[in-house]
Amino acid sequence: MTSSTWSSDCGLALRGAGVDAETVARFDTQGSGGNPLPAVFSPRESGHCLGLANPAAGYCAAFCCKEAFFKAVDRPFSPHECELLLDPAAERHSVLLGPEVREECGVEAAEAHVAFSEGECVVVVHVFSRSPEDR
Amino acid sequence: MTRELSQETERDIREMVVGFFADECGVDRARIADDTNIIEELEGDSLMFLALLERVRKRYGIGVELKTLARHLMKKPASTVGQVVHLTLAIVRHGDDIVNVEL
């Protein structure tokens, strides 16, 4: 490697990466019938998950995304400001970031790679800033 | 704003925390002490802690922001059952003001 700065295909600098894994069954909504953790999942995120064929997969991926994002930025943030709306057919997702988390964490964009295997969900999040100096 | 807690409420919160970890981790209550390490001995994790917090929210009607709590935990991590009991009592007492409280 000749450079310490990685870039995304949108021209932003890679600020950090995080990974998290969780068991999908832990997000089973059959008991509650709704958002299992309202402090964690936003109404938009929860509504999206409940519309999926497997809501637990959506909640699990969204949770892993928030945990992986936290590992990448190493700063506290409001979980509702970092949303993942799972598309079961897609591997790569844009993470929806609110203005507060962008400002406080110095992040311009984030993308999540989601994979499921044997009841487990693994999410890798790449976090990008506008310039390497924002790191 | 600080909420005064009766001894009965403090006992109730302690019982709730210990009972929660006993149920979630499939461990006999008698095996859980204040110095039991949640991650190393009970195999607990952050999701479990968030589920406990949700239970506390519903039961005591508190609205502490997770960002505030995370900020507090980065300064003062809670790794044992006793520390989580202490933290839960503080959350119910102080809500979002917890970040300004020296525990």
ipTM of model: 0.85
pLDDT at A19 over 90: yes
Q: Token pair of B9, please?
A: 């409420």
What is d(CA A19, CA A127) in angstroms, rounded to the nearest whole number? Answer: 11
Confidence of residue A5 (pLDDT cuts 50, 70, 90): low
Residue of chain B whose Cα is closest to the Cα of A82: B67
Q: Is A87 on the interface with B (CB under 8 A)?
A: no
pLDDT for the residue B4: 86
Q: Token pair of A122, please?
A: 């693994």
The amino acid at B101 = V
pLDDT for the residue B99: 66
| A24, A60 contact by CB (below 8 A) | yes
Mind telling me how many Å the CA of B67 is from chain A's nearest CA? 5
Residue of chain B whose Cα is closest to the Cα of A74: B74
| A26, A60 contact by CB (below 8 A) | yes
> How many CB contacts within 8 angstroms connect chain A with chain B?
31
The length of chain B in residues reads 103
| A24, A88 contact by CB (below 8 A) | no
Contact: A76, B50; criterion CB under 8 Å: no
Residue among A38, A67, A77 minimizing CB distance to B46: A67
Confidence of residue A83 (pLDDT cuts 50, 70, 90): very high
Residue of chain A whose Cα is closest to the Cα of B46: A67
**Residue-wise pLDDT tens digits, B73-91:** 888 889 999 999 999 999 9
Contact: A22, B47; criterion CB under 8 Å: yes
Helical spans, DSSP H, in A8-131: 43-50, 55-73, 99-105
Percent of chain A with pLDDT strictly greater than 90: 81
